[in-house]
């Protein structure tokens, strides 16, 4: 019996390959990383004592580095157990809970028709590409040049042009022997009982081919050249080939990029076709986009099949913030251990296309490096713009946070989210923070009054002055004779402690894997560290990790970090520290790091609001904003002084100041 590719894809997608292989092997606990869908075992195809058989749920593949066997679900069963291919399909279908297709001449006929429809879509794609190069396509070519696209990029994405004619494509396809029914079935013409004569669906538009997971053209998106067009962007209608909510633009290409060395497993979801294409041209090839609508559950599942933690990127305008909040609500019910999303929000008025076209990829990389966790997004959305100056309002906030997290289906994740929200709430209400949280980009409500302000502290000026002087001295020392400039001290402590004590990665993985560094090179270095942890499991040693970092070109950076922490006498970050001291110092540094990032973000938002209020003449709120900004600035300076005053920062080293103290 012949099985349709769509049926095989469906049952393969429903059953993790680890479920199939796991019934025949015993997973190695040291190398296996269940949360990432990454499994290791002794190969069932040849005798061995150490595990070299690798199974990856994200790719749906297995491979043995010892004997070289590889394959998918079906290949595993046919090769290992001697099943016929139909028997293997039957077994996977049973695991997936999907009924086997019955022999159906009509289904076979539909499958043949589907194949022929793909041929028609390929002909249409070639027609649009050819039209772009004609005199009719001159205006479209000029538009693409203005958007900064190169000829190579246009060819890579097979961009084309639909001429301003009611029948240009229809007549072309008819001349190739394509029947009326096939043209209509592909969604290339507008037809129906109320349309006497069908006509081309896409006219006077730049054409973006939309590919399936198997990289076949299944639909088109068209961008209108005329400003008077009723729809700026127009997609193909739903067809046998195309179901908009189940497809992501650039899916196949981004999946390949994410599996390569540069992608590091990351997938970025942006809002539009041009964003994806501009990012690709800037060297960021692992981006996808929904097709002109909000992200759907099926599209989110597609993202999770490629990576356990995709980054959802939104424009910084009001529409982008609303879309981000919708994505928060979409993702929460479907979270599982090791499966979440992060959120990157662009500067107001910018989209990815604008950012990389004018400033290159560096600003966009910085936006990604500052992406927020889903838990942080939930917290920000619920507290920003609210006043919590009475017990009743604080109780209302607590109840709302409990209600928001109650939709998480997985019991374990729901419990941890509840604890995370309680911790944030306690820190917010007890940590000296005011009970008033000013208006922010993720707010739901408007501004209210009633904020507490702290009394001036006469000692502050002296502390700030001493800290500034110490910081200046330290910076001069670090810059002298240094080819690699290290990060701020707390980031150096975080990174170097893990390099010298990699076992911490596995003891505190959930906390450590989400760290975000401001220092660009350190953020890149961190990706290598996490990859090494995933590849080696608990067998990872300092020697293995340092060797890999040096191979990847980060040897000078690690040496700079080591010199920096030794000068600061932060011995818990060095290789000489006892494991328990390293862990204690690390967790304290991590708490400081997260507090610092939150304060810097709050300061930027206050400065933006102050500038906006001044421009709009809203002078009533300016004094309040200034007081709040001063308080936040003081807290920022206080934390910076903990790094600048060398002995003061030594608190992060816990009980031990150096090997001599032992």
CATH of the domain at 79: 3.90.580.10
Residues 295, 330: contact at Cβ < 8 Å? yes
pLDDT of residue 108: 59
Span 479-507, average pLDDT? 75
pLDDT at 510: 57
Mark which of 333, 355, 370 sits at the end of a domain: 370
Output the CA angle 175-179-181, nearest 5 degrees. Answer: 145
Task: Select from 291, 159, 181 the least CA-distant residue to 236.
Answer: 291
Q: Which residues contact 151 (CB under 8 A, 6 or more apart)?
A: none
Average pLDDT score over residue span 99-128:
79
Pairing of strands 61-64, 195-200: unpaired
pLDDT band at 509 (very low <50, low <70, confident <90, very high): low
Extract the tokens encoding 357. Answer: 């076209």
Q: Please report the pLDDT score of residue 513 as a whole number.
A: 66
* Cα separation, 287 vs 313, whole angstroms: 10
Query: What's the confidence (pLDDT) of residue 616?
Result: 66
| Nearest to 388, CA basis, from 325, 443, 448, 446 | 448
Region for 198 from its dihedrals, namely left if φ exceeds 0, alpha if ψ lies in -120 to 50, beta otherwise: beta
| 87 shares a domain with 112 | no
DSSP class of 407: T
* Residue 287 pLDDT level (bands cut at 50, 70, 90): very high
Q: Distance between CA atoms of 130 and 161, rounded to whole angstroms?
A: 8
Decide if 291 is inside a domain. Answer: yes
Taking all residues of the chain, what is their mean pLDDT, rounded to a whole number? 81
Please identify, among 96, 129, 164, the residue that sits at the C-terminal boundary of a domain. Answer: 96
Ranges 68-82, 185-199, 476-490, 580-594, most confident: 185-199
In a domain, 222, yes or no: yes
Residue 121 within a domain: yes
Residue 394 lies in a domain: no
Tell me how far apart the alpha carbons of residues 26 and 21 are, in angstroms, rounded to a whole number: 9
pLDDT attached to residue 650: 39
- Mean pLDDT (whole number) for 170-198: 92
Q: Which domain holds residue 20?
A: 5-96
Give the pLDDT band of residue 76 (cuts 50, 70, 90).
Answer: very high
CATH number for the domain including 307? Answer: 3.40.1360.10
* pTM value > 0.85: no
What pLDDT is stored for residue 641 in this prediction? 61
Q: Judge if 235 and 263 occupy the same domain.
A: no
343 DSSP β-pair partners: 312, 372
Q: Based on the domain organization, do 119 and 24 belong to the same domain?
A: no
Burial class (CB in 10 A: 0-12, 13-18, 19+), 508: middle
Number of domains in the chain: 4
Same domain flag for 163 and 25? no
CA distance 362 to 353: 13
269 close to 312: Cβ distance less than 8 angstroms: yes
Q: How far apart are CA 36 and CA 534, in angstroms?
A: 8
Per the model's pLDDT, the better-predicted residue between 447 and 217 turns out to be: 217
Give the residue carrying structure tokens 């633009």: 249
Residue 384 is assigned to a structural domain of this protein: no
Helix (H), strand (E) at residue 209: strand 205-211
pLDDT digits (tens, 9 = 90+) for 12-30: 888 999 999 998 899 998 8
Q: Are residues 366 and 481 in the same domain?
A: no
If you average pLDDT over residues 154-163, what whole number do you get?
96
Q: Hey, is 54 helix, strand or coil?
A: strand
- Distance (Å) of CA 30 to CA 27, 504, 531, 534, 626: 9, 14, 15, 10, 53
Nearest to 647 by CA among 489, 492, 517, 500: 489
Does residue 435 lie in a domain region?
no
* Lowest-pLDDT range of 101-115, 121-135, 527-541: 101-115
Q: Evaluate whether residue 377 is within a structural domain.
A: no
> Are both 69 and 110 inside the same structural domain?
no
Measured in degrees and rounded to the nearest 5, phi and psi for residue 372 equal: -95, 150
Q: Where are the beta strands (DSSP E) in 246-341?
A: 268-269, 287-288, 311-314
Beta partners for residue 372, in sequence order: 343
Confidence tier at 111 by pLDDT (50, 70, 90): low
More confident residue, 378 or 65: 378
Residue 566 has pLDDT above 80, yes or no: yes
What's the confidence (pLDDT) of residue 129? Answer: 97
CB 50 within 8 A of CB 42: yes
438 within a domain of the structure (yes/no) = no
Element (H, E) at 281: helix 273-281
Note the pLDDT tens digit of each residue in 600-634: 777 777 777 777 777 666 667 677 778 777 777 77
| pLDDT for res 518 | 78
374's CB contacts (< 8 A; 6+ apart) are 328, 331, 332, 335, 340, 341, 342, 343
Q: What percent of the chain has pLDDT over 70?
A: 82
What CATH number is given to the structural domain containing 184?
3.90.980.10
> Is 639's pLDDT higher than 70?
no
Residue 194 CB neighbour total at 10 angstroms: 6
Q: How many CA atoms lie within 13 A of 269 on its CB side?
A: 28
Structure confidence at residue 217 as a pLDDT band (50, 70, 90): very high
Which of 167 and 565 is assigned the larger pLDDT? 167
250 CB contacts (<8 Å, ≥6 apart)? 211, 276, 280, 287, 288, 289
Instruction: Tell whether 636 and 502 lie within a shared domain.
Output: yes
pLDDT digits (tens, 9 = 90+) for 472-489: 433 443 343 334 566 888
Reading the block at residue 397, the tokens are 């906030």
Assign residue 440 a region (left: φ > 0; alpha: ψ between -120 and 50; beta: otherwise).
Answer: beta
Residues 590 and 491 in one domain: yes
Q: Report pLDDT for 107.
A: 59
Written as six digits, the tokens of 235 are 């997609």
Q: Of 217, 242, 267, at which residue does a domain stop?
A: 242
Rounded to an integer, what distance in angstroms lies between the CA atom of residue 191 and that of residue 182?
12
**The pLDDT of residue 41:** 92
pLDDT digits 0-9 by tens, 429-447: 775 444 445 444 444 433 3
Residues 41 and 145 both lie in one domain = no
- Is residue 599 located within the same domain as residue 617? yes
The answer to whether residues 619 and 509 belong to one domain is yes
Does 632 lie in the same domain as 573?
yes
């Amino acid at each position: 019996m012949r099985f349709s590719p769509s049926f095989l894809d469906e049952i393969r997608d429903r059953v993790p390959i680890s479920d199939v292989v796991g019934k025949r092997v015993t997973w190695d606990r040291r190398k296996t990383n269940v949360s990432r869908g990454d499994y290791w075992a002794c190969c069932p195809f040849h005798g061995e004592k150490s595990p070299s058989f690798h199974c990856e749920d994200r790719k749906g593949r297995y491979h043995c580095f010892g004997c070289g066997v590889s394959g998918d679900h079906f290949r595993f069963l046919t090769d290992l157990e001697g099943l016929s291919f139909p028997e293997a399909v039957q077994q996977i279908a049973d695991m997936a809970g999907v009924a086997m297709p019955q022999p159906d001449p009509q289904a076979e006929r539909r499958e043949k028709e589907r194949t022929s429809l793909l041929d028609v879509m390929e002909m249409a794609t070639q027609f649009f590409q050819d039209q772009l190069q004609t005199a009719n396509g001159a205006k479209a070519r000029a538009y693409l040049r203005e958007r900064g696209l190169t000829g190579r990029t246009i060819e890579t994405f097979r961009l084309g042009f639909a001429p301003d004619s009611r029948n240009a494509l229809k007549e072309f396809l008819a001349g190739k022997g394509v029947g009326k029914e096939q043209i209509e079935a592909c969604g290339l013409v507008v037809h129906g009982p109320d349309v006497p004569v069908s006509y081309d669906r896409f006219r006077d538009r730049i054409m973006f081919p939309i590919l399936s997971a198997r990289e076949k053209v299944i639909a088109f998106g068209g961008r209108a050249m005329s400003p008077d067009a009723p729809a700026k962007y127009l997609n193909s209608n739903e067809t046998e080939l195309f179901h908009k909510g189940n497809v992501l633009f650039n899916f196949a290409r981004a999946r390949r990029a994410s599996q390569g060395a540069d992608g590091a497993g990351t997938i970025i979801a942006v809002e539009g076709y041009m964003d994806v294409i501009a990012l690709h041209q800037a060297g960021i090839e692992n981006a996808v986009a929904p097709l002109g609508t909000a992200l759907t559950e099926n599209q989110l599942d597609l993202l999770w099949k490629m990576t356990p933690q995709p980054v959802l990127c939104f424009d910084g305008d009001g529409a982008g913030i609303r879309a981000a909040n919708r994505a928060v609500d979409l993702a929460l019910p479907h979270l599982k251990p090791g499966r979440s999303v992060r959120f990157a929000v662009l500067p107001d008025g910018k989209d990815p296309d604008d950012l990389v076209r004018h400033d290159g990829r560096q600003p966009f990389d910085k936006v990604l490096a500052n992406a927020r966790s889903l838990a942080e997004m939930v917290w920000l959305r619920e507290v920003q713009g609210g006043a919590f100056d009475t017990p009743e309002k604080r109780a209302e906030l607590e109840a709302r946070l409990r209600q928001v997290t109650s939709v998480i289906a997985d019991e374990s994740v729901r419990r941890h989210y509840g604890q995370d929200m309680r911790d944030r709430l306690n820190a917010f209400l007890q940590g000296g923070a005011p009970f008033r949280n000013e208006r922010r980009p993720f707010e739901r409500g408007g501004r209210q009054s009633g904020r507490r302000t702290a009394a001036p502290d006469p000692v502050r000026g002296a502390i700030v002055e001493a800290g500034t002087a110490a910081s200046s001295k330290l910076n001069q020392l670090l810059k002298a004779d240094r080819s690699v400039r290290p990060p701020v001290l707390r980031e150096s402590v975080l990174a170097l402690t893990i390099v010298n004590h990699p076992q911490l990665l596995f003891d505190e993985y959930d906390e450590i894997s989400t760290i975000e560094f401001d220092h660009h090179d350190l953020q890149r270095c961190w990706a290598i560290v996490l990859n090494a942890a995933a590849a080696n499991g608990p067998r990872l040693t300092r020697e293995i990790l340092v060797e890999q970092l040096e191979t990847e070109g980060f040897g000078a950076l690690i040496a700079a970090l080591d010199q920096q922490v030794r000068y600061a006498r932060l011995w818990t970050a060095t290789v000489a520290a006892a494991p328990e001291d390293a862990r204690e110092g690390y967790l304290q540094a991590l708490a400081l790091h997260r507090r610092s990032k939150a304060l810097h973000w709050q300061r930027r938002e206050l400065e933006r609001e102050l500038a906006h209020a001044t421009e709009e003449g809203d002078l009533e709120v300016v004094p309040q904003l200034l007081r709040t900004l001063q308080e936040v600035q003081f807290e920022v300076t206080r934390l910076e002084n903990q790094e600048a005053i060398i002995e003061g920062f030594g608190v992060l080293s816990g009980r031990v100041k150096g090997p001599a103290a032992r």
